Amino acid sequence: MDYQRYRYVNYLWDDTVASSLDPVGRLVYRSNILGSDQRITNTGGGNTSAKIIEQDPLTGEEVEVLWVKGSGGDLRTSKRENFSSLYQSRLVDLQSLYARESEKGPKTPAEDKMVGMYTHATFNLNSRPSSIDTPLHAFIPFKHVDHMHPNAAISVAASKHSEKLTKE
């Protein structure tokens, strides 16, 4: 990879460090790097996740687990205990539950009900409350998802002339 091509941010990933970590450790490492640069995300903003194969503590079977930065906290200082772990299959099951709701969408009782159901998908008794953005991470068909809140994008979106600025 040509690291010189990064013009506005610094490439901080170190393969030597990353290779010494387990999969959740690499997620924490990635999160800390992304959170350390205010050009990438604001303080406390953004979520990161990884879908990791783990051994189910009850059955001994291998299962896919979504590790996602939990509610609150800051990416740059997050540690393993700041991440929720949820059975991916149970999160997917929530889609059919949501589909049965008569009124769907933002700010509906169905949304609140789904957030309350996340705890039923908890893996290995992890008590960390999951992010409100958990469905984004669960339903995107990628193993690793980084959802950032860059100050520059927030400023443009919140400005009086956001549509014009976006087109420029």
pLDDT at 45 over 80: no
Mean pLDDT of the residues in the chain: 91
The mean per-residue pLDDT over the stretch 137-143 comes to 96
Q: What is the pLDDT of residue 4?
A: 59
For 40, half-sphere exposure in the C-beta direction (CA atoms, 13 angstrom radius) is 23
Domains plus CATH for the chain?
A: 3-91+122-167 (3.40.225.10)
Q: Where are the alpha helices (DSSP H) in 38-167?
A: 88-99, 109-117, 134-139, 151-158, 162-167
pLDDT at 1 over 60: no
pLDDT at 105 over 90: no
> What is the pLDDT confidence band of residue 141, given thresholds at 50, 70 and 90?
very high
Q: Are 54 and 27 contacting, i.e. CB atoms less than 8 angstroms apart? A: no
Q: How far apart are the C-alpha atoms of 61 and 81, rounded to whole Å?
A: 23
pLDDT at 116 over 70: yes
Q: Across 26-149, where does the E strand assignment appear?
A: 47-55, 62-69, 83-87, 144-147
Contacts of 105 (CB under 8 A, 6+ apart): 111
Q: How far apart are the C-alpha atoms of 55 and 165, rounded to whole Å?
A: 48
Residue-wise pLDDT for 48-76, tens only, equals 999 999 999 999 999 999 999 998 889 99
